[in-house]
Amino acid sequence: MISTRGRYAIRVLIDLAEHRGEAFTPMKEVAKRQEISLKYLEKIMPLLSKANLVEGQHGKGGGYRLTMEPEGYRVGDILRLTEVDLAPVACLSEPVNTCPRASYCRTLPMWQKYYEMTLSYFDSITIRDLMQVESGGDYVI
């Protein structure tokens, strides 16, 4: 399951993309528009900033802005940053599968394919794509 942090990070990036004509967007404005608590956003923004997805500025006229065009942000990259793990089963969570059943597990190929499809799907969607979805469209986050 995708966490609130992951969903909110995507919503914040969409909001910043939609308001990118402004120099820096105050988090108070984003919080109000997205109906997300400012305290929660204050936990998400350093993560996005450290990953160089947003640039922040303190003081008067401060806030955040995107560091690239909306098509440069893939949902898969954002979720890999915000989520502890996207693997559907524990044995795929580590770089090397240490499950004692891995060599003869009948379900492992199914889980591997599901995981690959999920990552591929999220990597195929950009913030630009999500900006273009009208209300009631294909993407709901």
Pairwise CA distance, residues 74 & 129, whole Å:
9
Q: Tens-digit pLDDT profile for the chain (141 aa)?
A: 899 999 999 999 999 999 987 689 999 999 999 999 999 999 999 999 999 999 999 988 889 999 999 999 999 999 999 998 899 998 998 888 888 998 999 999 999 999 999 999 999 999 999 998 765 555 545
Residue-by-residue DSSP string for 29-88 = HHHHHHT--HHHHHHHHHHHHHTTSEEEE-STT-EEEESS-GGG-BHHHHHHHH-S---S
- What DSSP element (H or E) covers 120? helix 108-123
At the topology level of CATH, where does 4-131 sit?
A: Arc Repressor Mutant, subunit A (1.10.10)
pTM of the entire structure? Answer: 0.87
